[in-house]
Amino acid sequence: MFKKYITMNLSTQMKKGAEEVKLTVYLAGQIHDKWREELMKQTKDKGLSIDFVYPQTEHNLSDDIGEKILGKQPGDYYRDEAASAINNFRTTVLMEKADMVVALFGDQYRQWNTAMDATTAINKGKPLIIIRPKNLIHALKELSNKANVTVETIEQAVEVLEYINQ
């Protein structure tokens, strides 16, 4: 499936005679540290032609967006429902634009949104790279089995992206 997807979708973005493929990658994962910036810096340092999209990384804005747009909600449940509807809409739009998804599972935070985004990518037929540490091998075995590539480090994921760009 991955090879077919690359052939059908990415080859149309290549210019005749060019060696570079312009990818759009959705970066799924927790928003509490700078892992996205690290991955983007590594791809830039390698000269890769990649655009990145991702969930709202400003935590307060992500939590407040429902009330910011729809107005004050009658309670915490409705506040969360309003925010999640808008955040899920954002994810849907950006993931549709992406050629592939990189989902990082870390040690430090609960990973419900990462698992949801990875499953969405699989269900949409989006090629998926999972980054997960060794201690999560067992916990993520079924999800890793459905991913196209599973690696343990950001550096390894960047190497996969570099290989695609060759």
CATH class of 2-55+98-165: alpha beta
**pLDDT-based confidence at 144, cuts 50/70/90?**
very high
Percent of all residues in the chain with a pLDDT value above 70, rounded to a whole number? 87
Residue ranges with strand state E in 92-144? 100-104, 128-131
User: What is the domain partition of the chain in residue ranges?
Assistant: 2-55+98-165
**pLDDT-based confidence at 9, cuts 50/70/90?**
very low
The pTM (predicted TM-score) of the whole model is: 0.85
Region 80-107 average pLDDT: 96
**39 pLDDT higher than 80:** yes
Distance from C-alpha of 107 to C-alpha of 122, rounded to nearest angstrom:
22
